[in-house]
Amino acid sequence: MSKDRSFSRELYFLYELAKAFASSIDLAEVTENVLDGTCALLGTEQGFLSLLDDQGALRPQASRGVTAADLDAVGEQLRPAVAERRAVLTAHPRSPEGAILAVPLVARDQVQGLVGVAPPTPAASPRRKRSASRRWPTWPHWP
C-alpha cells in the first residue's frame, strides 16, 4: 500500500471516529458506534471497547464476538496497554491460531480505556451480537 493511500485511510478513520463521537451524547451509543467503525475499518467482526471508571477499573461498554470470559482470560496480558500506554497483542483464548490486539484510548493525555479487535474465530459469537455492559464484570484496577 502506498504511503499516500495509507495516510488517506488513517485520516478517513479519524474522521469516522470523530463523527461517531459527535453522533450522540449517550455514552452507550457512542461506544457502540466507535466499536462498529473500528471493526468495519479493520475488517473484523470481533472487538471490544472498555472505559476506565473513577477507581481505575476497566468497565466493558461494547463488544462484538468477544465474551466476558474471553476478556477475563486475557486480562493480565492486556494490563500493559493501560499501564504503559502501548498496544498489546495476545493469544485469543478460544482460538489457538487467533489473537487479540488492544490499544489504549487516550484523551487529554490520559488513558481513558481500551479498544481491542480480533480476527474471526470458528467459535465466535453470532455476527454483530451486542453484549450489554451491565452483564460484564469489572476488571481489576490497572495502574
126 lies in some domain: yes
Q: Whole-angstrom Cα distance, residue 129 to residue 116?
A: 16
What are the two backbone dihedrals, phi and then psi, of residue 119, each rounded to the nearest 5 degrees? Answer: -65, 155
Say which CATH number the domain at 62 has. 3.30.450.40
Cβ-proximal residues to 49 (8 Å cutoff; 6+ apart), any chain: 31, 34, 35, 38, 60, 61, 62, 63, 105, 113, 114, 115, 116
143 lies in some domain: no
Number of domains in the chain: 1
Q: pLDDT of 8-24, one tens digit each?
A: 777 776 677 667 666 66
140 lies in some domain: no
Starting at the edge strand that comes first in sequence, how are the strands of the sheet with 95-107 ordered?
58-64, 46-52, 110-118, 95-107, 88-92
49 lies in some domain: yes
State whether residue 99 is helix, strand or coil: strand
Q: Which domain holds residue 54?
A: 3-135
53 lies in some domain: yes
141 lies in some domain: no
Mind listing the pLDDT tens digit of every residue in the chain (143 residues)?
566 766 677 777 667 766 766 666 778 888 888 888 888 878 888 999 999 989 888 888 999 988 888 988 888 888 899 999 999 999 998 888 889 999 998 888 999 999 999 876 555 444 444 443 333 334 444 44
85 lies in some domain: yes
pTM over 0.85: no
87 lies in some domain: yes
Q: pLDDT of 55-76, one tens digit each?
A: 888 888 999 988 888 988 888 8
